[in-house]
Amino acid sequence: MDEFEYQALDANQRQDLRLLRMLESSGTTIRCELFHTTYALQPYEALSYTWGNAELVDEIEVNGKSLWITDNLHTALGYLRLPRQDRVLWIDAICINQTDLQERREQVERMGEIFRGATRVIFWLGKATREINMFLDAFNELERMCKERCLDMSLWSSSDQQWSDLKLDFTSQQSAKGKSMSSLLKGFQTILQRPWFRRIWIVQEVARAWSALICCSSRSLSTEIFFLTPMILDTRIDRHCHAVLEIMPGPGRYHSWFREHLDLYTLLAMFCRSEATDERDMIYALLGLAADSSAISMLAADYADPITSVLQKTVHYLTSKTRLPMILNYLTFFQSVTVVYLTSGENAHEVLDKELDQGIQKRHSEERSYDFTIEEKTAESPTCFKQVMELCKDLDKNKLPVHSYARVVPWTSDNKSVKILVVDDFDVALEHVVTQGYGQLVEAMLRRLKPHIWNSRRALTIAFNERHEEIAQTLLHYGAKASASDIRSAVEEDNLQRVKYILDAQPELDDTLQ
C-alpha cells in the first residue's frame, strides 16, 4: 500500500481544517477518510489523549493509503470505532501534518477554537482495569440517580442538602451491591494517576470543551459526574488534578477560580506540574487560555524558536508583571532552567567564571570573567523588571546593584539551558520564600548551599509558625535542627504529623521527651 501524503490546508481560509472519518467496521484493519472542511460545515468530536511513546508502530488505512501512528493512538481508535456507524473525529497527530512546522504552528494557535467547536471532546485515558470498570459502572449509576431526581448540575453546591442526600443514597445503594467506597476510591485514584492528567496540552483541550466524556476502554463517564467524585468518596486530591477537574465541563466551572480573569502567570502557577515532551509547550499550551496573550505576541507558538529563547522571553514578560520569587518558584519545574544562587562577591566571581567557561554567551565576548562586588541592597520596587533591565545592561561593569532578596539575569547557553543568576542576601531570601510558602523555590535554594551558611533555626521557626509542613520537612532534610520545645508545641497543638516527621529527622530528640 502506498504511503499517505498530506495536501496543504488553504492558507487563506482560517477555519480550514482536516477531519478524520473512521469508517464503521469490526474488522482488524482501521479504515478512515481524511478530508478538508471548516468548523461550521461538519459536526465532529475531538480527541484528547497522550501520545505515549512517540515511535510510529501501528498502521491504519487513510484514503486507501498507509499511515503509521503511535501505539496509544491505535489502541484508542480501536475502542472508539463504531461497528454500525461512521465516526468523525479531530485528532492532532493525524489531522495536523506534524512534519510541516508552519502548519503545526498555525494549528497550535487555533487549538482552542478547534476544541471549542467540537460537539463533544473525548478524554481518552487508556485501557481500563478491573477497579476502573467498577468505578465507572458505579458512577454511571450515580448519573442515572441525578437524572431521576432532576438535579441541575449548574446549581450544585457542597452545602446543599439534596446533594448530601444523593451521596448518602448512592453509598447505601453501592454497599447493598457489595461495592465498598474504598474499592471505588481505588478505581478513581488509578484514573488520576494516568499520564493524561499531567499532559500540558489537556489544559486547553479540557477548558475549551462544551461537553466531554472520560473514556477508558469501552466504558465512559460524563465529566459533570466525574467532578463530584471527591465529594462522594470523601477524598482529597492533589492540587494539580483538582485544578483539572475544576475546568472540566460541569459544576466546577461555575464555582472555581476558572471564572476569574486568567493571565499567563496564573495559569503557569496552576499547571506548572504538568509535563510536555517539548518544553516549549509548557508555555505555548497555555497561551490559548491566557487573557493577556494578545499582549505577548513575542511568545506566539514558533517551533523554530529554541527553548532557550522561549524561556528567556517568558521570564522577561513575567518579571514585568509579577514579583520575582513567585516566578522562580514555578520556573523550578522546568528542566531547561537552572537557578544559580550567589551570596557573596567571591562566590559570584567563582561561579560565573565557571559558567562562562562552559559557553554562556556574553554581551562582551572578549572578556573572560566579571569581577563582582556586592553593594548595599537597593530600595524595593513594585516589580523587578527595572532591576532585570539594569542587570542585563550593566554586565560589563564592576559593580552589581543587588535587591534584598531576588535578582535575575537570563542567559542563553550552548547546552540548551536558560541560566538564571540570582544574587541574594540569602537568609533574607530564604525567610521570604518560606513565609510565602514557595516550597519548590526553598528546595532549589537549599540544594546549592551548605547548611552552615544559612540561619536554619529562624527559617524552621517561620515554617512551623506559618504551618508550611512540607517546607519544614525540606528544611530538616537539608540540615535544619528542631528542638524539644518544637515537639512539645506540636503535641500541644495536636499536630501529630509534625511530631512524627521531626522525630524521623532527629530520633535523638525522643530521649528528651521521656
Confirm whether 125 is domain-assigned: no
Task: Report residue 159: phi and psi, to 5°.
Answer: -95, 0
* Cell 521521656, residue located: 514
Same domain, yes or no, for 76 and 135? no
Same domain, yes or no, for 35 and 88? yes
Same domain, yes or no, for 440 and 490? yes
Same domain, yes or no, for 167 and 224? yes
Same domain, yes or no, for 318 and 332? yes
Confirm whether 238 is domain-assigned: yes
Contacts of 444 (CB under 8 A, 6+ apart): 328, 332, 339
Boundary-marking domain end, from 424, 455, 479:
424
The number of domains in the chain is 4
pLDDT tens, residue order, the chain (514 aa): 899 999 998 877 777 899 999 999 888 899 999 999 987 788 999 999 998 888 999 999 999 999 999 999 999 999 999 999 999 999 999 999 999 988 888 888 888 899 999 999 999 999 999 999 999 999 999 999 998 888 887 777 777 788 888 889 999 989 888 888 999 999 999 999 999 999 999 999 999 999 999 999 999 999 999 999 999 999 989 889 999 999 999 888 877 777 776 888 889 888 988 998 888 899 989 988 888 877 777 788 888 888 777 877 787 788 667 766 677 677 777 777 665 554 444 444 444 444 444 433 333 333 322 222 222 233 333 333 333 334 434 333 333 333 333 444 444 444 444 555 555 556 676 787 788 888 877 887 777 555 545 567 888 999 999 999 999 999 999 888 999 899 989 988 889 899 999 999 999 888 766 6
**Strand partners of residue 376:** none
pTM for this predicted structure: 0.71
Query: For 504, what's the count of Cα atoms within 13 Å in the CB-facing half-sphere?
Result: 11
Size of the chain, expressed as the number of residues it contains: 514
Same domain, yes or no, for 210 and 144? yes
Same domain, yes or no, for 214 and 141? yes
User: 3-state DSSP call for residue 119?
Assistant: coil
Same domain, yes or no, for 184 and 296? no
Domain with 33 in it: 16-118
121: its cell numbers: 471532546
Same domain, yes or no, for 294 and 357? yes
Confirm whether 9 is domain-assigned: no
Boundary-marking domain end, from 66, 93, 118:
118
Confirm whether 386 is domain-assigned: yes
State whether the Cα torsion 332-263-109-238 is positive or negative: positive
Same domain, yes or no, for 397 and 270? yes
337: its cell numbers: 532552567
Label residue 172 exposed, middle or buried (CB < 10 Å: 0-12, 13-18, 19+).
Answer: exposed
State whether the Cα torsion 224-225-228-229 is positive or negative: negative
Cα 384 from Cα 392, distance rounded (Å): 12
Same domain, yes or no, for 242 and 273? no
